[in-house]
Every structure is written in C-alpha cells, then in structure tokens.
Amino acid sequence: MFGLIIPLLLIFFCGYVIWRAGDTFLEGSNYIGRNLKDGVKGATINAVASSMPELFIALFFLFYLKDVIGFSGGLGTSFGSVLFNSLIIPSVAIIGVLSKSKKKIVVVSKKIILRDGVWLLLVEFVLIYFIQQGTISWVESLLLMLIYILYLIYLFKTMRGGESIKYEDPLSEKETVSLMSAFIILDLKRILIGNKPLNIQKAWVVFVISSLVIGFVCYFLVVACEWLGSEHYSVPWIGEFEGLGVPLLFVAIIFAAIGSSFPDTIISYKDAQKGNYDDAISNAYGSNIFNLCVALGVPLFFFTLTYGPIVLTKDIIDLISNLSWWFVGLTVFSLFLYTRGSGVNKNQAVILISSYFVFIFYIFWIATNG
C-alpha cells in the first residue's frame, strides 16, 4: 500500500504546482492576447496556456521512457485529457455558475461548440487512423501539426463576429500579498513582479518563467506515473516498493491526464464566473485540439526525427482501437448535450460527469482483468 501512496502524493503535489504555475501562465498569456475576440481567445490563448503540461508530459514520456512505452504514456495523457476536458471541466464550470445564481441554464453558442467539436472529431479520427497503421513517424507528427495550423487559420478568418474581452488585472480585485505569503502559496506572479500591475514586458516574463516551472514539475509527474504503473520501482535513498503492475497507458489516461488538467479547470471556471461561457467551453475543446495536434505532435516529431519511427505492437494497437470507441463516442455525446435545447442545465452537467466516471471504472476493470 505504501508503494502506491508515494507516487500518488507526488502526482497530487505536481498537480498543485501545475495549477499554480498554470494560473500565472494564464495571467501572462491573457495580457498578451487581450485584444482577441470572445470564443477565439478561449480556443487559442487559453487553450495553449492550459495545455502546456500535456506538451511537457508527452515530451518527457517519449524521451525518458522511449519508443512504444513512452508513446503510450504520451498518448494516454492526451486522450485522457480530451475526455476530462470535454466532460468534467465545462460541467464543473456550469454547475458552479448555476449554484451561485438563479439561472436554470447556461446559454452557450452552439456555433462555437460545433465549430471546435467538428475539428476535434476530425483530429481524433486522423490520429486513430495513424495508430492503426502501426507506425508513427515524423510525417504523421507533421500532419497533426499542420491540422492545428489549418484550425488556427480558420479561427482567425471567422473571428469577426466575436466581441473583444477587456483585460482585467486580478490585482485590482485582490489585496496585496507579501513575498513570504506568495512563496507559501506558490503565487509565481507576485514572486516574480510583486504586487505591480502587468505590462507587456512583465507579461512575457511571467509567461516564460511559469512555462519553465511547469516543464520542470511535469518531469516528476511522469516519473510518478511510471512508479505507479510498475510492478516494482526504486526511490533513491528510500528503498524498493511495489506499484500497480498495469500498463502505463492506463495510468496516464487517468492520473497524468487529471494532474495536467488543473489549469484547464481553473481557466474554464473563471471564464464561466465572469459570464464568458463561450470561452469556458471553447477552452476545453480548443485544449483538446491543441493536445492531440501540438502537445502530442511536437514531441513525436522531434523524437521520431532523432530515433526513427515508432513501431507499435499489435497489443497496443488493439488496446488503443478498443479505447478509441470511447473517445469518439464520448466526444459526440458531449457535443450532443452541449448543443441540445436552449442551453446547458445542472442535470446535463451531472450526466456528463457521470459518463466520465463510467469510463474511469471501465479503465480500472480492463487494467485489472485484461
């Protein structure tokens, strides 16, 4: 049992640091992208900001564990984040809004949801097709990145109808915080620039430094996931322990995905609290597109250029093909509920959250009985 507690505590700690660093990253990226339109900002700036952990995790999985095992860890994180982002994050944001108001539903733009949902389904089908071919090279990775570029071009060509979001410095809403308190709660922005308001230079400073912190912590999150999935693992200066003894793909789908999704949750919740419901939903779907095309595509591109193509085993192909029905099916299901009727209510949000936990129970079942 103690062998499970160590990696789980490390995953929890890494998730907390990713959340705090992601919050700072968001403030910097929000200032940099303050002139973008509603809906576009959520699908681009917010999506990229909240998906930095997935990019670093995929990078470390591939270059730390190598080949098929590393690929399964990176893919599991990306796929797990897709479901967490689609089912949990918007639902939590919606429930939070409705619990604090007299509203019965949250009205979101069906056009924006369908826009990002269709692109997400396209990416899912393309990635599943690549996996079923049995070999992943720099060509497939490059094609994934090109799809994201096409997605961005489409967004900026169709952004005319949105409204600009006025940037609000959180410092204007909060009391000043001492440097000691900032260190205790890991408030990177105040550690870096104190209680001063942002300008473009300071925004880039917090943007870059918080990115480096996220990358550093993600390495330890990858190590913790490896320990958790192993039959036996060794912790330097402490000793030998027993893990779950399950494929890394399952661990990454649940624990790495949840640990890396704290920024997405915070971003969408804050957007929803401010009434930016389109950004709250488009951030989740935009993050998913970024996760699969860039956060997975970029590490794969550099890994396969360095070490050559990744040849997948039949077991991995069959397992991913089996899980792909869940990914596509739950994506379609979430799109149906978000666009059904005049808005999204608490019952629909609860159904989406429940469907995620059904998927998690299924993962545990095949991990222990497969």
pLDDT of residue 303: 94
| 3-class SS of residue 350 | helix
| CATH number for position 333 | 1.20.1420.30
Is the distance from CB of 233 to CB of 220 less than 8 angstroms?
Answer: no
Q: How many CA atoms lie within 13 A of 194 on its CB side?
A: 1
Residues with Cβ within 8 Å of residue 44, at least 6 apart in sequence: 33, 36, 152, 155, 286
Residues 6+ apart with CB under 8 A from 31: 167, 198, 200, 203
Residue type present at position 139: V
Q: Write the secondary structure of 251-295 as one string of H (helix), E (strand) and C (coil).
A: HHHHHHHHHHCHHHHHHHHHHHHCCCHHHHHHHHHHHHHHHHHHH
311: phi then psi, degrees, rounded to nearest 5:
-100, 115
Structure tokens at 308: 């050559």
C-alpha distances (whole Å) from 87 to each of 61, 301, 302, 368 are 25, 29, 31, 24
* CA distances in angstroms from 3 to 227, 243, 250, 280, 309, listed in the order given: 9, 6, 18, 38, 35
Q: What are the residues whose beta carbons fall under 8 Å from the beta carbon of 344, sequence distance 6 or more?
A: 90, 94, 105, 106, 108, 337, 338
Beta bridge partners of 310: 136
3-17 CB burial, b ≥16 within 10 A, e <16: beebbeebbeebbeb
As a whole number of angstroms, the distance between CA 90 and CA 334 comes to 10
Domain encompassing residue 360: 2-369
Count of residues in the chain? 370
C-alpha to C-alpha distance for 220 and 60, rounded to whole angstroms: 9
Per the CB < 8 A criterion, the answer to whether 187 and 177 are in contact is: yes
Tell me the DSSP string of 305-341: HHH-PEEPPHHHHHHHHHHHHHHHHHHHHHHHHHHST
User: How many domains, the chain?
Assistant: 1
Tokens of 340: 């059904």
Q: Of 305, 324, 331, 259, which is closest to residue 52 (Cα–Cα)? A: 259
Q: Give the distance from CA 274 to its chain's centroid.
A: 21
pLDDT at res. 173: 47
The position carrying tokens 């997400």 is: 120
Measured CA distances, 219 to 66, 93, 201, 223, 367 (Å) = 14, 29, 28, 6, 24
Residues 26 and 49: their CA atoms lie apart, in Å, by 6
- Please state, in angstroms and rounded to a whole number, the distance separating the CA atoms of residues 128 and 225: 24
Distances (CA, A) of 75 to 208, 228, 291: 26, 17, 10
Instruction: Please report the DSSP string for 42-78 in residue order.
Output: IIIIIHHHHHHHHHHHHHHIIIII-HHHHHHHHHHHH
Q: pLDDT tens per residue, the chain (370 residues)?
A: 678 899 999 999 998 888 888 778 777 877 776 766 655 665 566 666 667 888 899 999 999 888 788 899 999 998 998 899 888 888 887 887 787 777 778 777 778 788 888 999 999 999 999 999 999 999 999 999 999 999 888 887 776 544 444 545 554 445 566 777 777 777 777 787 777 777 888 888 888 888 888 889 999 999 999 999 888 888 888 888 888 888 888 999 999 988 887 766 776 767 666 666 666 666 677 778 888 999 999 999 999 999 999 999 888 888 888 888 889 999 999 989 888 877 788 888 899 999 999 999 999 888 877 6
